[in-house]
């Protein structure tokens, strides 16, 4: 396998992990909780998802051929509470991720060194992917953090539970996990 193919597979695997964390978080949040805002300077889970979906659709629609900041995008509106239902927010979440994964899965190794544009700024495709590998997990982390505030003592860890690192490591080292997929 060449490095470009390995990079694309790795990028897809990493963003799929963060999407899964977001999926698990959305599954435990109620209709009312999706609109909870910790303070006036913070965003609700709904608003964060509006932004993520808007960004993904703008950036990844016709990714190789049009500027990543589409003319019809209303970024400022993404950051206003549109009072969408949980079902509508979940549909936005899915639509954004589907657009992103569709574009990533269509990329070929030779595409990584092509130039694309975001707000007329030229970027290598690999750099545009790296930007999103930082941007999207940042917002998924915000979603998880707001959900932790909401759920408080009812929060169920999505990864290694607090004070369970040693037990988790013992479990991991007791199984053969050293194979590369």
Please tell me the predicted confidence (pLDDT) of residue 180: 63
Please tell me the predicted confidence (pLDDT) of residue 87: 97
Please tell me the predicted confidence (pLDDT) of residue 165: 84
pLDDT in tens, 76-121: 999 999 999 999 999 999 999 999 999 999 999 999 999 999 999 9
Residue 163 inside a domain? The answer is no
Please tell me the predicted confidence (pLDDT) of residue 39: 93
Residue 177 inside a domain? The answer is no
Q: In the predicted model, is pLDDT for residue 55 greater than 80? A: yes
Phi and psi dihedrals of 124, rounded to 5?
Answer: -65, 150
Give me the domain span that covers residue 147. Answer: 3-154
pLDDT in tens, 112-146: 999 999 999 999 999 999 999 999 999 999 999 99
3-state secondary structure at position 105: helix
Q: Report percent pLDDT > 90 for the chain.
A: 85
Q: In the predicted model, is pLDDT for residue 153 greater than 70? A: yes
Residue 116 inside a domain? The answer is yes
For residues 135 and 128, is the Cβ–Cβ distance under 8 A?
no
When the pLDDT of each residue in the chain is averaged and rounded to a whole number, the result is 94
The domain tally of the chain equals 1
Please tell me the predicted confidence (pLDDT) of residue 175: 77
Query: Which pTM was predicted?
Result: 0.90
Phi and psi dihedrals of 179, rounded to 5?
Answer: -100, 145
172, 175, 180, 181: CA torsion to nearest 10: -100
Q: In the predicted model, is pLDDT for residue 177 greater than 70? A: no
Residue 86 inside a domain? The answer is yes
SS3 for 122-140 is EEEHHHHHHHHHHHHHHHH
Residue 164 inside a domain? The answer is no
CATH code of residue 92: 1.20.120.450
């Amino acid at each position: 396998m060449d490095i470009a193919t390995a990079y694309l597979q790795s990028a897809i695997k990493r963003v799929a992990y963060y999407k899964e964390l977001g999926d698990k978080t959305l599954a435990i949040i109620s209709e009312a909780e999706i609109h909870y805002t910790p303070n006036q300077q913070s965003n609700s889970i709904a608003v964060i998802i509006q932004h993520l979906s808007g960004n993904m659709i703008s950036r990844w629609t016709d990714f190789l051929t049009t500027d990543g900041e589409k003319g019809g995008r209303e970024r400022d509106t993404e950051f206003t509470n549109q009072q969408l239902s949980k079902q509508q927010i979940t549909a936005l979440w899915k639509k954004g991720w589907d657009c992103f994964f569709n574009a990533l899965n269509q990329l070929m190794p030779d595409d990584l060194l092509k130039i694309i544009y975001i707000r007329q700024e030229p970027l290598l495709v690999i750099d545009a992917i790296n930007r999103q590998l930082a941007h999207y997990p940042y917002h998924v982390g915000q979603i998880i953090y707001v959900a932790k505030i909401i759920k408080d003592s009812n929060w169920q860890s999505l990864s290694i539970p607090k004070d369970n690192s040693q037990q988790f490591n013992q479990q991991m080292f007791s199984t053969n996990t050293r194979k590369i997929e």
